[in-house]
Amino acid sequence: MIQALQRAVLVLVVVNAWCLLAIIVIDYLFGNLLGLFPTSIDTQAWAILLLVALSYSPALKAAELKIKQWYSTTAVAIYLAEKFAKNISRYKTAVARSLHAMYINLYLLADVIFCVGAPLLIITASAGWWLLDEVSYLALLGYCSIISLIVFTGLYSNLVRLLSLGYFFGYWVLSDSLLLYPFAAPALVQKNISTMLSSSFTSWLPVIGLVLVVYLLAHRGRANVDSSGWQGFTRFLRELFKFFPEGLNRQLFGNYLSLLCLLMAAPLIIMILNSIIGYLNPHVLFAGFAVWMLDRLWQTDVIHEPALSSDCRYFVNLIWEH
């Protein structure tokens, strides 16, 4: 009885996830692109985060596979297969090949532009510090720090690489002066950061505290326990409470304490995400969602492709090891 109820719940969650995906895609196409009705970036962002979180569940993946297998045995699926099997398979193959080729070419093109263009951005920004009065030393330092952080993250993440390139070229095209933008970029970035911090400074304070707490816990956990991830965190918390009586189930207590820490951090995480979502562009959000789905499908196909990012990662690892 319990297993049947669990299967029913899993099937219901999978079906609702499919419906939610269809709803947000229609909402973006007809609301954001065509402007037929108003949309909410908060609703769209939280829906996408929910779908991403659900996609990592092995139980939901198994339920989705069982639903597809069950559907293939239904009368509707058999009828459609008899009538349109050849055309559907041909179109699916053509679309899949086109998307795969586009993904590979876009990945390699973005890889070259990202690895070559990032140093050029810092060079042009440094030149702008000498040529333009509005580019201060503080703006240049903050800009170079942000670019460096994006570069090191983008070497390991295709999503960051493509979104940063798309954001830069989109900002460049919309800028008043196309040729002057790379030189004046530090001042514009500093202006945007100042606007974000001044409008919601109190909401960014918990971000700093949460990052420091997580870093300290992770650092102490790695120093005291030869493990990582959830097990290392729970073992570290259990070691803190060794003074409890022997009769107490310390392992169970450590697990509950870890869960309590996550529940306490949940409001902070939600507040942080809300503050970030408020500055999101819906086109950037859905572009990132599309790139994430393509990465899930074909990320393994580009591992053996000749790419500059793999060479850069090799040198970064050499420097990090030494």
CA distance 186 to 192: 10
Handedness of CA 230, 236, 242, 244 (dihedral sign): negative
* Res 252: pLDDT: 52
Which pair of tokens denotes residue 91? 């179109």
* Res 23: pLDDT: 92
CB atoms within 10 A of CB 165: 20
Which pair of tokens denotes residue 282? 């819906």
Please report how many Cα atoms fall inside a 13 Å half-sphere around the Cα of residue 120, on the Cβ side: 8
Are residues 286 and 28 in contact, defined by beta-carbon separation less than 8 angstroms?
A: yes
In eight-state DSSP terms, residue 9 is H
pLDDT at residue 182 above 50?
yes
> Residue 44, exposed/middle/buried by CB under 10 A (0-12, 13-18, 19+)?
buried
The per-residue pLDDT for range 2-22, each reduced to its tens digit, is 677 778 888 888 889 999 999
Please report how many Cα atoms fall inside a 13 Å half-sphere around the Cα of residue 66, on the Cβ side: 13
The per-residue pLDDT for range 51-105, each reduced to its tens digit, is 988 888 888 888 888 888 887 777 777 777 777 666 666 777 788 888 888 888 8
pLDDT at residue 226 above 50?
no
> Residue 125, exposed/middle/buried by CB under 10 A (0-12, 13-18, 19+)?
buried
CA distance 133 to 303: 45
* Res 20: pLDDT: 92
- Region of 38 on the Ramachandran plot (φ > 0 left; ψ -120 to 50 alpha; else beta): beta
End-to-end CA distance of the chain: 58
CA distance 109 to 142: 28
